[in-house]
Chain A
């Protein structure tokens, strides 16, 4: 209250500077990832800047094991996103729209995987697979990733669709729409933005995950596992090339979805407002 003005100004400026440094801290490694995709490493490891080169970009498929791993990762991400989005959305819908016994327990089971270290989740699942003699590979990776993704999807969808006016469904049914048509025309458009956000999150999480996947992958290699296996023999520039390409594609997709989503949600908001008004009258 009675601090001199210059002290306050100083405080304000240092807050800005500190926050700016925080952003730099977060951003620098990403910049390094991009920058080092243009490096020409002197040895087998792309750790020290040597000179600018496009060699990684002109020959991205030089290491087939890396390319195969990336394709494998993308396949997994597609399957996991499809399964987890459906399962998680259904759970999120149930948690928002209905009251039922044991709801608190279901909610706790949904949150619990998010509060456990990945190594415990991955290792305990591995002990299950080992005890029933199930060999690890594509299927067990899918199982493991869907397991933790369902929680993320349900939590995201739940947060995004809370407080919606579900009487719109009732209105559609009363007006003679079939349950399927009601779902397609009312429920789906209402929950779509939340579901799309959850699906994108799942896809990113699937590509990103290392620890749980690694423990349950057997001899199959996802992109991160392949990098992990290479760490003692070589870290080629192609790793950075693929990562940069994925980054650019993700950013473009995210922007497209946000821009498209804004347009949609404006339309939907209008719909909800009009129908809400008529329902209330």
Chain B
């Protein structure tokens, strides 16, 4: 009877129809659409439509030459942005993976408490967090003092304004986004697989590589995206902690978005940022192996 109520043009594969036990309300084919309509329309009008509007604007006046102009004018900034985002993502993996691993596999009854500590930074607003990072790196602050006493920094050298300040702040701000998805994927890990590997004379290192790491790839993938994407689009960290030497793409958009005349090229720059990130995501998914991701 479920099938009978569905108009013929919405024929679904037999497999799905047979396994359809989603309940009485599924008899009405339009019920899901009623549920989706309000949120869906909101996304359509205020998310999809603006992307087209941005794309159209980016081609105004100069057409595709807007893109070549914006790329040649900002090539250093574009390369720098992606280098910073890549370094902070790798740093977030190096710091975040072991942390997620320890919490997920050795956390025991403190698991939720440790996880809460990872989430805690979200309760302080992003800008204030970044300002606190600035306090830590400030001239005369603890980090500078330690590095000077060890001799890594000269007495009159500072950290603020340097690429290190910006990259470390990016790493810090987006680290929880790396830890949480990795934690989720490691938490689901079946420990009997590791026992089996040990029984079959696999070394712990090999078992880690072949089982733990492999099964946590979806989490690593999600974490990388959630770190890399906001880092590549950010302007707050380099504005508050950087200098002229550390300008990122986001800053160029932020500095100019009020000026009418610059809009088409600015749109081209943001469209390009989005396209480069999408391409990066696809390449990265291929590298990791898409089957594991899905």
User: A residues bordering B, Cβ < 8 Å?
Assistant: 1-2, 8, 15-16, 18-19, 21-23, 25-30, 32-33, 36, 46-48, 86-88, 90-91, 93-94, 97-101, 103, 106, 109-110, 112-121, 123-128, 130-131, 143-144, 146-147, 150-151, 154, 166-167, 169-170, 173, 204, 207-211, 214-215, 223-224, 227-228, 231, 235, 239-240, 243, 246-247, 250-251, 254
What residues of A have a CB within 8 angstroms of the CB of B106 in the complex? 16
Kindly identify which residue among B23, B123, B204 contacts A170, using a CB–CB cutoff of 8 Å: B23
Q: Is B117 touching A47 in the complex (CB atoms < 8 A)? A: no
Pairs of residues from A and B, 3 with the lowest C-beta to C-beta distance, nearest first: A117-B233, A87-B39, A94-B35
Contact of A119 among B42, B44, B233 (CB under 8 A): B233
Q: Could you tell me the dominant secondary structure of chain A's interface residues?
A: helix
Q: Write the B211-236 contact mask toward A (1 if CB under 8 angstroms, else 0).
A: 00000000000000110011011111
Q: Which of A97, A115, A124, A210 contacts B50 (CB 8 A)?
A: A124
CB of B51, distance to nearest CB on chain A (Å): 5
Q: Which of B26-34, B64-72, B149-157, B286-294 contacts A (4 or more CB under 8 A)?
A: B26-34
Chain A nearest CB from B135 CB (Å) reads: 5
B75 / chain A contacts, CB cutoff of 8 Å: none
B172 within 8 A of A: yes
B77 at interface (Cβ–Cβ under 8 A)?
A: no
Q: Is the CB of A19 within 8 A of B98?
A: yes
Closest to B271 in A: A120
Residue count of chain B within 8 Å CB distance of chain A: 95
| 23 interchain pairs, CB-CB under 8 A | A1-B203, A2-B203, A15-B98, A15-B102, A22-B175, A36-B135, A88-B39, A90-B35, A99-B16, A99-B22, A109-B43, A115-B229, A115-B278, A116-B274, A117-B277, A120-B271, A123-B253, A123-B270, A124-B50, A124-B53, A150-B42, A166-B23, A169-B23
- Given the interface contacts A169-B23, A204-B122, does A87 sit within 8 Å of B42 by beta carbon? yes
Return A48 CB to nearest CB of chain B, in Å: 6
Return the contact of A18 from the options B48, B98, B230, B263 (Cβ within 8 A). B98
Q: Which residues of B contact A246 (CB under 8 A)?
A: 123-125
Is B83 in the interface zone, CB < 8 Å from A?
A: no
Most interface-central of B40, B135, B179, B202 (chain A CB within 10 A): B135
Q: How far is the CB of B130 from chain A (nearest CB, A)?
A: 8
The answer to whether A98 and B31 touch across the interface, beta carbons within 8 angstroms, is: yes
Partner of A25, one of B95, B132, B233: B95
B63 at the interface (CB under 8 A from A): no
B131 in the interface (beta carbon within 8 A):
yes
Q: How far is the CA of A147 from the CA of B49 in the complex (A)?
A: 12
By a CB distance below 8 angstroms, the chain A residues around B123 are 204, 246-247, 250-251, 254
- B191 nearest CB across to chain A (Å): 16
**Is B101 a contact partner of A30 (Cβ separation < 8 A)?**
no
- B12's nearest neighbour on chain A, judged by CB, is A99
Which of A33, A128, A169, A243 lies in contact with B46, CB distance below 8 A?
Answer: A128
A97 and B10 contact, Cβ closer than 8 Å, known pairs A117-B229, A119-B235, A228-B127 = no
Q: Inside 8 A of B103's CB, which chain A residues have their CB?
A: 19
Contact with A along B251-294 (1 / 0, CB 8 A): 00110010000010011001101100110010000000000000
Contact of B267 among A99, A116, A127, A223 (CB under 8 A): A127
Residues of B within 8 A of A127 (CB): 50, 53-54, 57, 263, 267
Cβ contact within 8 Å between A109 and B126:
no
Given A22-B96, A88-B39, A208-B122, CB of A121 within 8 Å of CB of B47:
yes
